[in-house]
């Protein structure tokens, strides 16, 4: 008991003997979530400042005789003349495994009503990206569970792969599928007891999204059992622009914790177009000079410094980034899309026309590319799907050409026929990612011509039957493909025999 009293007395003595120095200022104007402040002569760039009523601000504009701050939180109680104090701290968010399964705001505070988050550590929201020496090249795969992507535009751990397309083309669905697939792989890997297995934790950052969309995403992840491996950072459309501007950096800080502590993480920024718009709004209110499309001059740096934080670190973990960009009328040459295309290591372009034709995921093979992912692709996928991208691109070209003429030679007809089958085979429903071993089995069957006798309209049905056959009756074979990750002669023979078996049962 006496120790407790001593502690209190020590605390009182500490408080009463010290005069605490604070650097203060007064609000000169406050509007649209931005305050102009007199004073604060000691404030640093990006420093957190304390407003009355618990609101926090970030000093973004340090001018000759005033400071421009964005305010995070409730601005309704703030008025001209209110005292503002520097804190000497950079904005930080709680990090760690305690955040898994939770939904937090841009400041890392829980918004899901599941109580406080028991996090021991915090990471600064703004951090300089890892340098050259500590990085390692991308060589480990990150399976999305989407056959068209894993076989043709593979993604590696530590890569930045942009997902770009018009509204309603399935951009978010691809990322949700990827998150669900990571959770599925994690469950299998952790259950196997393999000491070398490295789970991938996911962070989904919703920027400027409708609240209903965020709820739908959370429900989809929960229904698929993926929420326990996922952190949701939400800065929906109703949030002030400062929160929308900060949310991706907060998400990156949460992801960096996993990377720095030897784990792998995946982060989805949904989407960076709205992020740029939020930043433009802040910049215009702060009266920063505007450039093309009224974006401020540092809008490139806004995204480059964010995406550079995704990396694979030598001796540590990795952070893979899937930023999303929404285009208008398929215009990839607009300002923000071209910026982000140039920063990332490739892009998956989704086409409205394909989507409307029922080809989902609507991946445009010609415009999509993965610059570093092929090094991370497993050998089995390369063996069965190495030529797919070329074949499919050739098919699209031929299909466009064939529309003008009816007389086609046998070779062209065969190519068109094969292309149509590949297209049908790549159709995949939402929230149903395929394990890589099953993808290999399906692509193997396709390469060996098992789908050739099937009517094109029945390809999807046949593929579903093949998948069901393999999962229900050939599980050991799938496990072998998964563990070996390459097709040797023995495994090829086994797959061939299994396909023959399926063929006889399917035809019957």
Partner 1 sequence: MASHAKVAQKFARQLFAMSVVDGTVSADRVAGVLEYVEKHNVPNPVMVLKAYERLVSIELAKGVAVVEHAGEISAATLAAIESAMSKKYGRAVKARAESNPALLAGMRVHVGDDTYESSVAGQLAALGASV
Enzyme catalytic residues: 371
Residues contacting residue 25 through CB under 8 Å, at least 6 positions apart: 37, 38, 39, 40, 43, 49, 67, 83, 84, 85
Rounded least distance, CB 318 to partner 1, Å: 38
**Binder among 5, 64, 113, 406 for partner 1 (CB under 8 A):** 64
The reply on whether position 38 binds partner 1 by CB under 8 A is yes
Alpha helices in 203-308 (DSSP H): 211-223, 241-260, 272-285, 299-307
Rounded least distance, CB 64 to partner 1, Å: 7
Comparing C-alpha atoms, which of 392, 499, 453, 480 is closest to residue 147? 392
The reply on whether position 505 binds partner 1 by CB under 8 A is no
Compare residues 41 and 219 and give the one whose CB is closer to partner 1: 41
Q: Are 230 and 186 in contact (CB under 8 A)?
A: no
The reply on whether position 23 binds partner 1 by CB under 8 A is yes
DSSP-assigned letters across all residues of 439-455: HHHHHHHHHTTTTTTS-
Compare residues 24 and 261 and give the one whose CB is closer to partner 1: 24
Task: In whole angstroms, give the CA distance from residue 67 to residue 65.
Answer: 7
Give burial (CB, 10 Å; 0-12/13-18/19+) of 335.
middle
Total residues binding partner 1 (CB under 8 A):
18
Compare residues 86 and 339 and give the one whose CB is closer to partner 1: 86
Compare residues 285 and 430 and give the one whose CB is closer to partner 1: 285
Task: In whole angstroms, give the CA distance from residue 70 to residue 59.
Answer: 7
Name the one range near partner 1 by CB under 8 A: 22-30, 135-143, 202-210, 217-225. 22-30
Residues in region 69-128 near partner 1 by CB under 8 A:
85
Rounded least distance, CB 68 to partner 1, Å: 15
The reply on whether position 227 binds partner 1 by CB under 8 A is no
The reply on whether position 40 binds partner 1 by CB under 8 A is yes
Compare residues 63 and 293 and give the one whose CB is closer to partner 1: 63
The reply on whether position 255 binds partner 1 by CB under 8 A is no
**In degrees, to the nearest 5, what angle opens at C-alpha 423 toward C-alphas 419 and 426?**
135
Q: What tokens were used for 484? A: 């070996």
Q: What tokens were used for 52? A: 């009355």
The reply on whether position 20 binds partner 1 by CB under 8 A is yes
Q: What is the DSSP letter of 208?
A: S
DSSP-assigned letters across all residues of 49-85: EEPGGG-EEEEEEE-SS-EEEEEES--TT--TT-EEE
**Binder among 1, 4, 19, 128 for partner 1 (CB under 8 A):** 19
Name the one range near partner 1 by CB under 8 A: 34-42, 146-154, 289-297, 473-481. 34-42
The reply on whether position 18 binds partner 1 by CB under 8 A is yes
Name the one range near partner 1 by CB under 8 A: 19-27, 135-143, 250-258, 478-486. 19-27
Rounded least distance, CB 278 to partner 1, Å: 23
The reply on whether position 141 binds partner 1 by CB under 8 A is no
**Binder among 24, 46, 412, 471 for partner 1 (CB under 8 A):** 24
Residues in region 152-211 near partner 1 by CB under 8 A:
none
Compare residues 20 and 31 and give the one whose CB is closer to partner 1: 20
The reply on whether position 473 binds partner 1 by CB under 8 A is no
Q: Are 78 and 27 in contact (CB under 8 A)?
A: yes
Compare residues 25 and 337 and give the one whose CB is closer to partner 1: 25
Q: Are 271 and 171 in contact (CB under 8 A)?
A: yes
Residues in region 285-324 near partner 1 by CB under 8 A:
none
**Binder among 15, 31, 191, 400 for partner 1 (CB under 8 A):** 15
Name the one range near partner 1 by CB under 8 A: 32-40, 148-156, 417-425, 437-445. 32-40
**Binder among 29, 41, 77, 192 for partner 1 (CB under 8 A):** 41
Comparing C-alpha atoms, which of 33, 57, 31 is closest to residue 45? 57
The reply on whether position 4 binds partner 1 by CB under 8 A is no
The reply on whether position 31 binds partner 1 by CB under 8 A is no
The reply on whether position 65 binds partner 1 by CB under 8 A is yes
Comparing C-alpha atoms, which of 236, 274, 234 is closest to residue 254? 234
Residues contacting residue 236 through CB under 8 Å, at least 6 positions apart: 206, 208, 209, 210, 211, 214
Residues contacting residue 40 through CB under 8 Å, at least 6 positions apart: 23, 24, 25, 49, 59, 67, 84, 86
Q: Does an H or E element contain 414, and which?
A: helix 410-426
The reply on whether position 42 binds partner 1 by CB under 8 A is yes
**In degrees, to the nearest 5, what angle opens at C-alpha 71 toward C-alphas 66 and 77?**
100
The reply on whether position 413 binds partner 1 by CB under 8 A is no
Residue numbers of the site for partner 1 (CB under 8 A)? 15-16, 18-25, 38-42, 64-65, 85
């Amino acid at each position: 008991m006496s120790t407790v009293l001593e502690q209190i007395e020590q605390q009182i003595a500490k408080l009463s003997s010290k005069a605490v120095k604070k650097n203060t200022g007064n609000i000169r104007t406050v509007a649209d979530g931005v305050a102009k402040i007199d004073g604060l002569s000691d404030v640093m760039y990006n420093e957190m400042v304390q407003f009355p009523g618990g609101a926090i601000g970030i000093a973004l504009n340090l001018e000759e005789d005033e400071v421009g701050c964005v305010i995070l939180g409730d601005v309704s109680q703030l008025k001209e003349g209110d005292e503002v104090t520097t804190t000497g701290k950079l904005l930080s968010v709680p990090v760690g495994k305690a955040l898994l399964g939770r939904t937090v705001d841009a400041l890392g505070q829980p918004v899901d009503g599941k109580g406080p988050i028991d996090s021991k550590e915090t990471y600064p929201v703004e951090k300089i990206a890892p340098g050259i020496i500590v990085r390692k090249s991308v060589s480990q795969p990150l399976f999305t569970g989407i056959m068209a992507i894993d076989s043709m535009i593979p993604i590696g751990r530590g890569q930045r792969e942009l997902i770009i397309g018009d509204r309603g083309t399935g951009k978010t669905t691809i990322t949700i599928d990827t998150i669900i697939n990571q959770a599925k792989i994690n469950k299998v890997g952790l259950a196997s007891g393999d000491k070398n297995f490295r789970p991938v934790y996911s962070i989904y950052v919703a920027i400027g999204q409708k609240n209903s969309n965020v709820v739908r995403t959370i429900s989809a992840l929960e229904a698929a059992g993926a929420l326990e491996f996922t952190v949701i950072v939400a800065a929906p459309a109703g949030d002030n622009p400062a929160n929308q501007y900060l949310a991706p950096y907060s998400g990156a800080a949460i992801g960096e914790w996993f990377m720095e502590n030897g784990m792998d993480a995946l982060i989805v920024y949904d989407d960076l177009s709205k992020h740029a718009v939020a930043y433009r709004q802040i910049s215009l209110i702060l009266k920063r000079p505007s450039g093309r499309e009224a974006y401020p001059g540092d809008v490139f740096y806004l995204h480059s410094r964010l995406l550079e934080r995704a990396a694979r670190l030598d001796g540590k973990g990795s952070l893979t980034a899937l930023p999303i960009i929404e285009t208008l009328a398929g215009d990839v040459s607009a300002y923000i899309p071209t910026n982000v295309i140039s920063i990332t290591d490739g892009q998956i372009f989704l086409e409205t026309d394909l989507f409307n034709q029922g080809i989902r995921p609507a991946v445009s093979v010609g415009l999509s590319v993965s610059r570093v992912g092929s090094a991370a692709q497993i050998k089995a996928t390369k063996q069965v799907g190495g030529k797919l991208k070329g074949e499919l691109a050739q098919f699209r070209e031929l299909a466009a050409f064939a529309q003008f003429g009816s007389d086609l030679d046998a070779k062209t007809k065969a190519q068109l026929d094969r292309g149509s089958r590949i297209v049908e085979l790549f159709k995949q429903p939402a929230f149903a990612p395929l394990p890589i071993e099953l993808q290999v089995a399906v692509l193997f069957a396709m390469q060996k011509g098992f789908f050739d006798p099937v009517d094109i309209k029945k390809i999807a049905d046949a593929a579903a039957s093949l998948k069901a056959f393999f999962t229900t009756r050939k599980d050991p074979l799938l496990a072998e493909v998964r563990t070996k990750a390459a097709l040797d002669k023995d495994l090829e023979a086994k797959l061939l025999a299994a396909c023959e078996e399926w063929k006889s049962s399917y035809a019957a």
